[in-house]
């Protein structure tokens, strides 16, 4: 299939040649899919006896020149299915045989960045996601790639900044037209948070990434996958104290907590409005759970910063009141009266003061708020959550 692409693509202006390239590209994409599955089933734990090579060593030796030929051919890189298939194969190799891939990692990253610059293929961001996780969970790849901890943080920091800049320029003001890119960007950002938080928080584009995420809550216009990925990233970033991380990562995030809090203070009103509008008809019902979790994680974070206070944080209350009185909310959810808004704010603040154990109850209360806005429930649904 690759030979057919090379020979046919050299013939200019031929309809027959173009058809042959398309057919060969489809075949090559299928072959890459088979190779990816073959690698996936060769689990990295199936190591040979001492002194013997990994079961995939011979496969890698045979296929690596072909993979390089595919990555270097413009026609292959220009074909979305082939490029995605190739990047998926490399991601699978990174996961299964990281030590074998380590020596090629820097060259692979150069290729991945070039591929993203040319095509904005989401699989390029997915590869970086896999790399960030693998470098944290498998020490063998760092040694094989010749990267110590400081070098690893530096390379991933620079990589994130470059990819963010390219994504921002590509997506511009219409993220709803590039939902897969937005989804992969924030899934990658979440991997950075979980596996290399210092590279994320020290990134020159960190503040821009946060602002872009806030904008996507509105501009993705309820597209499910991109909006969900954005919400999950923001939820875990703001609520990092409530996710399971190792002591080293907690220490790193503690160092950057002031920067995160500053970004929340800057964008909190817009975020709160997006959550309330999304829950009251601005987003599909399938997104209500992540919207609910995100809003409550903000409340937990702010209220926990002032423990023992008799009254909820005044800034938080202002955000919630502004959201409940927003014109877009009142226009789309005529069932939401000022009294209902006040009741919901009181319920949520009371639950947030109880701590993370009340998260599920708060999510249920916000789901019922959505049902009231939609007309599927009455205000009586809130009685179950009344706080004395």
Is residue 213 within 8 A of residue 290, CB to CB? The reply is no
Q: Which residues touch 295 (CB under 8 Å, ≥6 apart)?
A: 272, 275, 276, 279, 348, 366
Does the pLDDT at position 48 exceed 70? no
Q: Which residue has the higher pLDDT, 48 or 96?
A: 96
Please state which of the ranges 19-33, 49-63, 168-182, 195-209 shows the lowest mean pLDDT: 49-63
Which pLDDT tens digit goes with each residue over 236-281?
999 999 899 999 999 999 999 999 999 999 999 999 999 999 998 8
In this prediction, residue 3 carries a pLDDT of 58
In this prediction, residue 335 carries a pLDDT of 81
Mean pLDDT (the chain) is 88
Does the pLDDT at position 11 exceed 60? no
Closest by Cα among 127, 266, 246 to 193: 246
3-state secondary structure 93-108: HHHHCHHHHHHHHHHH
Does the pLDDT at position 186 exceed 90? yes
In this prediction, residue 42 carries a pLDDT of 81
Both structure tokens of 61: 């030796």
Rg (CA), the chain: 24
In this prediction, residue 311 carries a pLDDT of 60
In this prediction, residue 221 carries a pLDDT of 87
In this prediction, residue 14 carries a pLDDT of 52
Does the pLDDT at position 4 exceed 80? no
In this prediction, residue 298 carries a pLDDT of 95
Q: Quick one: which H or E segment has residue 304?
A: helix 288-304
Question: What's the pTM?
Answer: 0.90
The number of beta carbons lying within 10 Å of the beta carbon of residue 151 is: 12
Which pLDDT tens digit goes with each residue over 303-345?
887 665 556 578 898 999 999 887 766 666 678 888 898 999 9
What integer is the mean pLDDT of 11-19? 56
Both structure tokens of 208: 């821009």
Does the pLDDT at position 217 exceed 90? yes
Query: Whole-angstrom Cα distance, residue 166 to residue 115?
Result: 12
Query: Whole-angstrom Cα distance, residue 285 to residue 281?
Result: 8
Distances from the Cα of 195 to the Cα of 131, 244, 249, 253, 270, angstroms? 10, 12, 8, 11, 28
DSSP 131-150: HHHHHHH-HHHHHHHT--HH
């Amino acid at each position: 299939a690759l030979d057919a692409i090379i020979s046919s693509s050299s013939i200019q202006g031929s309809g027959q040649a173009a058809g042959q390239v398309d057919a060969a590209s489809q075949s090559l994409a299928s072959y890459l899919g088979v190779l990816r599955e073959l690698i996936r089933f060769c689990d990295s734990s199936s190591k040979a006896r001492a002194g013997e090579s990994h079961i995939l060593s011979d496969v890698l030796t045979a296929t690596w020149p072909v993979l390089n030929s595919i990555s270097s051919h413009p026609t292959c890189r220009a074909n979305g299915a082939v490029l995605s298939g190739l990047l998926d194969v490399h991601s699978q190799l990174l996961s299964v045989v990281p030590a074998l891939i380590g020596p090629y990692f820097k060259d692979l990253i150069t290729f991945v960045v070039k591929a993203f610059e040319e095509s904005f293929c989401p699989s390029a961001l997915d590869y970086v996601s896999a790399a960030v996780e693998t470098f944290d969970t498998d020490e063998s790849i760092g040694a094989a790639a010749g990267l110590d901890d400081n070098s690893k943080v530096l390379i991933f920091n620079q990589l994130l900044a470059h990819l963010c800049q390219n994504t921002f320029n590509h997506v511009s003001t219409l993220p709803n037209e590039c939902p897969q890119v937005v989804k992969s960007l924030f899934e990658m950002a979440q991997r950075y948070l979980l596996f290399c938080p210092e590279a994320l928080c020290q990134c020159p584009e960190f503040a821009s990434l946060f602002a872009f995420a806030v904008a996507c809550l509105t501009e993705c216009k309820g597209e499910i996958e991109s909006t969900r990925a954005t919400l999950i990233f923001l939820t875990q970033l703001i609520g990092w104290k409530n996710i399971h991380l190792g002591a080293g990562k907690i220490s790193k995030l503690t160092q950057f907590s002031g920067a995160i809090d500053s970004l929340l203070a800057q964008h909190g009103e817009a975020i709160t409005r997006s959550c309330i509008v999304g829950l009251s008809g601005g987003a599909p019902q399938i997104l209500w759970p992540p919207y609910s979790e995100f809003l409550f994680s903000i409340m937990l974070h702010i209220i926990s910063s002032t423990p023992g206070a008799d009254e909820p944080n005044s800034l938080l209350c202002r955000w919630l009141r502004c959201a409940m009185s927003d014109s877009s909310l009142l226009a789309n959810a005529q069932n939401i009266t000022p009294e209902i808004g006040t009741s919901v704010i009181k319920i949520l603040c009371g639950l947030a003061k109880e701590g993370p154990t009340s998260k599920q109850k708060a999510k249920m209360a916000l789901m019922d708020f959505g049902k009231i806005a939609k007309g599927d429930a009455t205000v009586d649904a809130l009685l179950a959550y009344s706080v004395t």
